[in-house]
Amino acid sequence: MTLLSVNLNKIAVLRNSRGGHEPDICRAAQTCIEHGCGGITVHPRPDLRHVRPDDVRALAAMLRGRVEYNIEGNPFAAPRGDYPGLLALAREVRPTQVTLVPDSDGQITSDHGFDLSRDLDRLRPLVDELNALDCRVSLFVDAGNQDFAAAKAIGVRRIELYTGPYAEAFAEGEPDAVLASCAATARLAQQAGLAVNAGHDLSQANLGTFKAAIPGLAEVSIGHALIGEALYEGLATTVRNYLQILR
pLDDT tens-digit map of 51-108: 999 999 999 999 988 999 999 999 999 999 999 999 999 999 999 999 999 987 665 6
pLDDT, tens digit, for every residue of 25-56?
A: 999 999 999 999 999 999 999 999 999 999 99
pLDDT, tens digit, for every residue of 190-205?
A: 999 999 999 999 999 9
72 included as an active-site residue: yes
Q: Which of 72, 160, 219, 229 is catalytic?
A: 72
pTM value? 0.95
Q: Which of 43, 160, 219, 229 is catalytic?
A: 43
Answer yes or no: is 223 a known binding residue. Answer: yes
Q: Which of 35, 160, 200, 219 is catalytic?
A: 200
Judged against a pLDDT cut of 80, whether residue 112 lies above it is answered with: no
Answer yes or no: is 35 a known binding residue. Answer: no
Exposure string of 28-46, with b = 16+ CB inside 10 Å and e = fewer, is: bbebbbebebbbbbbbbbb
